[in-house]
Copies of this chain bind each other. A is one copy, B any other.
Amino acid sequence: MPNPRNLDPSLLDAVDVFVGLDAEGRSRALAAAHWIKLATGQQVFEQDQEADAFYVLEVGRLKVSQVTAEGQEVTIRYIGPKEMFGCVAVCGGLTYPGTATAVLDSWALGWTRSNIADLAQIYPQIALNAMRTMGGRLKDTHARLREMQTERVERRIAHTVARLVAQAGRRVEGGILIDFPVSRQDIAEMTGTTLHTVSRTLSAWQERGIVELGRQKLTVLDPHGLAIIAEDLPSQQNDA
């Protein structure tokens, strides 16, 4: 259970943005941080709000999403443990790209913009690390944009599910379970379609033994079959 007093330096070990810092740097970073607790459904920050803090998730899972003027929700990405979010705050002068909401009870470490700027002053590596992370995110987003523009719905759903497996898959008997609640609606918001189409598509996959479905639950039984759909390879089901 996290707690403000218990600032074990190993907390920052696997955190990209602090890679390359010595022990002293990590202690300093931790000293400047504050814990925040997030109950499921709670928001950390909102779309277009001035980016005044950045965070590293330690426990739980968040969804970063945008809402259109018409009220439609679009999911930008999910954040898992050890990932940073609100990283635009490091740049200064920008607003958050979306709204961050906890989809599980979560704990995160937060730094105010001035705190992180001070740290980056002393340890320039931090800025470089943040930049590398942003570069990676930019590439991910480009890849999704390319998908959206060139792929049919079924293939996009396959890619999305594959991504969820890679990000949050937990081995269970007979398959890999997405380790947090995902509704059909959530998948629709990630792929740019409707919950109806997602439901139909997943049902068809269940029929074929590729996935097993539950309420806000998704287990991939046949990752290879999924990959075949995602890459649009011809499947060899040639029995009449």
Residues of A within 8 A of B (CB): 66, 68-70, 72, 74, 76, 88, 90-94, 97-98, 120-121, 124, 127-128, 130-132, 134-139, 141-142, 144-146, 148-150, 189, 191-192, 231-232
Contacts and interface: CB of A to CB of B under 8 A. Distances in A.
Contacts of A128: 91-92, 127
- If over half of A's interface residues share one DSSP class (helix, strand or loop), that class is named, otherwise mixed; here it is helix
Contacts of A231: 69
B142 A98 contact: yes
With a 10 A CB-CB cut-off, give which of A128, A131, A137, A231 has the most chain B CB atoms.
A131
Contacts of A92: 128, 132
Contact of A131 (B66, B74, B130, B141): B130
8 contacts: A70-B150, A97-B138, A134-B135, A141-B141, A141-B142, A144-B145, A148-B192, A149-B191
B136 A145 contact: no
A142 B88 contact: no
Given A138-B88, A142-B66, A144-B145, A132 B93 contact: yes
A70 B128 CA distance: 35
Nearest to A67: B146
Given A130-B131, A131-B90, A131-B131, A74 B145 contact: yes
